[in-house]
A and B are shown apart, each in its own frame.
Chain A
């Protein structure tokens, strides 16, 4: 004890510049020392993670808890165990319909949009850099016209009467005699939604790919040329794909999330509720229960299932594209 005190008193005499608040020999002390050393890091990340906790993390956890309750905003939540989930999968035919529609949509638009994004970005990277911006804009434009503009453009294109562009063209070509009810025919609603989505599927992922290709070190091409990698296709396989792995992963995550949260586009094109619920998706079913019926516990259960599906597939994407450590 005395010895220690002596040592402590000796420090100023030795004029050690650094003061250590924690005994770095112990694990806890070392961690605390590290935390103090990186204080600026914590200050910099703090705003983001404080906001993230309040507006994303807590709501998500609360949502998960609510999914095991009956809650209607007026009365406090009542714990009901797995009831919501049982009802969801056993007694709710509309959820199954929404689930099937969402799966049908996601398994077409997801992969097709993803592959199209990659190849269009790759094609653009093959042409002279001076004209690239025009093509990037041209292919990205449809995703910019989404939202409010959607109804103006696509509703006229697929209008049910002979005023619609598509019907008008088909009638003039003599392929059909009666206008096709694009947005009312139960069998056509999902395909039409899918076609429109694909048209505007070159979005953020596409931009990420374009930027990724720009960042590929051009010296790699010359180096690989020595090894016999000369054709475009060989470069794609041996250089471009491995070099754009981070973008491939990022775009895959966005594509999965986007594909499974489909809903707004269906609502804009065929309305909600749609004829025979042919355009019903999980997201729309969720908004029904939270916004219209105020069965918030049940709505939360739908949300949890949806998030679960997305995270499961997303984690798979991380395994496929992520850095192998």
Chain B
């Protein structure tokens, strides 16, 4: 369907000879994109700058003689600390993977009945979710601290994962995606003799892949860069995250290089994730035939 649309567009363009609007928009977007990419390019350049280029006057945007010394400096800082760099990295990767996996599945499970079943109370539950989109996490910080302590989550991996699992934004997104799937597909499945469970696993789940990828993209940055939880809830150094370690590096002239390298390490996975998932989302959306 997408293909035919492109064809029609092409035909229209050919008829009009030249679509000046599209050209103007492309030029405008290209300039905007370059400006928008500046911080990222700067971040990459900065991480590979040798000491003398970091403090050059007048400052130079691009790196001239790139070096990986900043990264080895960063590793050396951890050699003085109690826990090796690899442990921080493992913690962050483990927490991120576990959290995203559980988050996506808890959301996916809840979104199907909310979207397709008219069970008693479904409206009240969904209103709760939409209202919860507006809740400020910090507003409940004090009681949450007490609850986390009482439940024994403090100073374990669980405190990173469990309290954030019921994420209303994710559930809302998944439910909205499923709403666009016509009910007739499910009714057809019912007529063919599928049980409710089969309708969920065989029809709803495959259709929700895009939405799941979107949820992963949107929540990845938050959990990967989560330094606050470690500060508040974790006392044992070996359970702290990479993001927390990065905040302890501190500034100063001696550590400016290491800090730039750290900033790149914290940012890059999110961007790579986004590139990987984005192509998938765009691709599947164009071909999935959801109307």
A residues at B contact (CB < 8 Å): 31, 34-35, 37-38, 40-42, 44-45, 47-49, 51-52, 54-60, 62-63, 66, 120, 123-124, 126-129, 132-149, 151-154, 156, 162-165, 168, 172, 199-200, 202, 204, 207-208, 211, 214-215, 217-218, 221-222, 232, 246, 250, 253-254, 256-257, 260-261, 283, 286-287, 290, 296, 299-300, 303-304, 306-307, 310-311, 314, 318
Contacts and interface: CB of A to CB of B under 8 A. Distances in A.
Nearest to A140: B274
B106 to A, nearest CB: 5
Interface of B: 1-2, 5-6, 8, 21-22, 25-26, 28-29, 32-34, 36-37, 39-40, 42-43, 46, 55, 57-59, 61, 106-107, 109-110, 112-114, 117, 119-120, 122, 125, 128, 130-136, 138-144, 146-147, 162-166, 168-169, 171-173, 176, 179-180, 196-197, 200, 214, 217-218, 221, 225, 227, 243, 246-247, 251, 259-260, 262-264, 266-267, 270-271, 274-275, 278-279, 281-282, 285-286, 290-291
Contacts of A123: 25, 28-29
Contacts of A204: 169, 218
Nearest to B171: A48
Contact of A148 (B1, B136, B263): B263
Given A139-B36, A306-B136, 16 more contacts: A37-B119, A40-B200, A42-B113, A51-B166, A123-B29, A129-B282, A149-B263, A152-B43, A152-B46, A153-B42, A162-B57, A162-B58, A165-B61, A250-B176, A299-B142, A310-B136
Given A41-B119, A47-B109, A283-B138, A58 B165 contact: no
A200 B40 CA distance: 11
Contacts of B243: 147-148
A215 B179 CA distance: 13
Contacts of B262: 148
A253 B263 contact: no
Contacts of B42: 153, 156
A153 to B, nearest CB: 4
Contacts of A136: 278
Contacts of B263: 148-149, 151-153
Contacts of A214: 282, 285-286
A300 B142 contact: yes
Nearest to A214: B285
A58 to B, nearest CB: 7
A54 B36 CA distance: 40
Contacts of A51: 106, 162, 165-166
B282 A148 contact: no
A307 B133 CA distance: 11
B142 A296 contact: yes
A75 to B, nearest CB: 14
A192 to B, nearest CB: 15
Nearest to A120: B32
Interface-central residue, A57, A138, A163, A257, by most chain B CB under 10 Å: A138
Contact of B267 (A133, A149, A165, A286): A149
Given A45-B125, A149-B43, A149-B267, A253 B147 contact: no
Contacts of A133: 275, 278-279, 282
B138 A287 contact: yes
A207 B216 CA distance: 13
B278 A35 contact: no
B147 A58 contact: yes
A62 B148 CA distance: 14
Nearest to B58: A168
B110 A306 contact: no
Interface of B is mostly: helix
A214 B61 CA distance: 36
A246 B33 CA distance: 26
11 contacts: A31-B120, A41-B117, A56-B140, A120-B29, A123-B25, A138-B36, A142-B39, A149-B264, A162-B57, A165-B61, A303-B136
A137 B275 contact: yes
B135 A60 contact: yes
Contact of A54 (B134, B147, B171): B147
Contacts of B143: 58-60, 62-63, 66
Given A127-B26, A136-B278, A211-B281, A40 B196 contact: yes
B25 A126 contact: yes
Given A35-B119, A307-B139, A141 B37 contact: yes
Contacts of B37: 138, 141
Interface-central residue, B36, B122, B164, B263, by most chain A CB under 10 Å: B36
Contacts of A141: 36-37, 39-40, 271
B133 A314 contact: yes
Among all A-B residue pairs, the 6 with the closest Cβ atoms: A59-B140, A303-B139, A41-B113, A38-B119, A138-B33, A62-B143
A217 B286 CA distance: 11
B201 to A, nearest CB: 11
Nearest to B55: A163
Contact of A211 (B36, B58, B214): B214
B107 A48 contact: yes
B22 A126 contact: yes
B114 to A, nearest CB: 7
A149 B172 contact: no
Nearest to A256: B134
B54 to A, nearest CB: 9
